Chain A
Amino acid sequence: MSNMAAFIDLNISYTADKKRLQNIIETAAHLGYSTVAINHVVDFQQKKQEVGKPKCVSELFDQFPIVQGKSRPIKVLNRLTLMVSEASHFRTTNEFKLYDIVAVFPKTEKLFHAACMSFDVDIICIAVTEKQPFYFKRPPVNGAIDRGVFFEISYVAAIKDSTMRRYTISNALSLMETCKGKNVIVSSGAEKPLELRGPYDIANLGLLFGLSEGDAKAAVSTNCRAVLLHGETRKTALGIIHTVKKTQPTTEGQEEEEAPASKRMKTEAM
């Protein structure tokens, strides 16, 4: 059950700069994150924004960096964040299935309500760069908790700027008042390796956001895992997970042809 306590950071900002992206992922692995998600943001307020295909993560590294203390390579996922300011912006498309996680950033109270109650997403982002423009009401928040949708607080703004730090903390505290520490994840939103912090640091930072000690640790581990599983069920047919078993080297000719060259050599030698 080592999976249970694995630390996950679900928000690494995507940059076209491959070198920098590699650097961030290496740092995350060094800090002890066993899974990270690269965040692709689509803002519908800007013109000509479309949900495109995510970049293939296997292009990033030949060999993924080893997670500290785990002797296992880091897992990299794709995440989509939709900045939504009008109801017409949110349209479920087939492209969603290409992403492991889908998040939504509702700008108005009406959209926040809709996001909690009906949008088919995994994460609802909470504003950290501006004062929360509306109050968190109990019914939508409870609705989201019942549906297994999580609220995300990203901490990178708090590191960069002292005014934003104030917004981050006050928005987080007002969220905690309504959700009581349930269904909260804390993620980085890092654009540079220096903006990442270790998972234990974040568990401690959670105490500042009004989470309890246990909830704060869950916000970087078990809750994130729940988000991944929620995303998995969204990609397939609600609740059914389709897996493909790796073909084992057998004597059947057809299967042998599918196996990679190195494996074929081995079976022949045997």
Chain B
Amino acid sequence: MGYADNMSESVSYERLVFKNASVYHYMKIYLILDSDDRKFNAAHFKQIVISALRDLYGEIGAAFPFDVLKFEEDTLTAVLRVYNSGLVKLWSALTLLGSYHSEPCAVRVVQVSPFLLALSGNSRELELD
């Protein structure tokens, strides 16, 4: 009898439903340049993103919080973290970035997700048929 009672206490199920559990969005992006002889480090890269924000949204836009979580210098790939409320702003600023120091460049957004784990595989290159 005692054994059965123990079982019912230790095995219990709880159902939790989260809505918009993450306060952040993560973006995986890479930068392409016309000439590939320029060297960039993470600080430079953040400067580019801030200047893109300033071009579109002005000084207040440039001050809004985002983080460069990771930056690979050889592939110019970066992972950005931004609050949900700033996602549209950051994304549109990156989209309209056309040049940096009068050198043409473009930002390709590979993935956007509220969960960092999702960036480990690319959903856009899945073949569904």
Contact = CB atoms under 8 A, between A and B. Distances in A.
A197 B94 CA distance: 10
B96 interface: yes
B88 A207 contact: yes
A237 to B, nearest CB: 34
A35 B41 CA distance: 37
Contacts of A196: 106
A204 B95 contact: yes
Contact of B34 (A68, A70, A194, A201): A194
Contacts of A192: 104
Given A160-B98, A204-B95, A69 B105 contact: no
Contacts of A208: 88, 92
Interface in B92-120: 92, 94-98, 104-106, 108-109, 112
Contacts of B88: 204, 207-208
A160 B96 CA distance: 8
A194 B106 contact: yes
Chain A: number of interface residues, binned into ranges: 20 to 34
Given A69-B126, A194-B32, A200-B109, A205 B92 contact: yes
Interface of A: 2, 31-32, 68-71, 155, 158-160, 162, 165, 192, 194-198, 200-202, 204-205, 207-208
Nearest to A162: B55
22 contacts: A31-B108, A32-B124, A68-B125, A69-B126, A69-B127, A70-B127, A159-B96, A192-B104, A194-B104, A194-B105, A195-B106, A196-B106, A197-B106, A198-B109, A200-B109, A201-B94, A201-B95, A201-B109, A204-B88, A204-B91, A205-B96, A207-B88
Interface residues of B, number: 24
B129 interface: yes
Nearest to B123: A69
Contacts of B55: 162
B95 A205 contact: yes
A155 B98 CA distance: 11
B62 to A, nearest CB: 14
Contacts of B126: 69
Contact of B112 (A2, A162, A200): A200
Given A69-B124, A208-B88, 10 more contacts: A32-B124, A68-B125, A69-B128, A70-B127, A194-B106, A198-B108, A204-B95, A205-B92, A205-B96, A208-B92
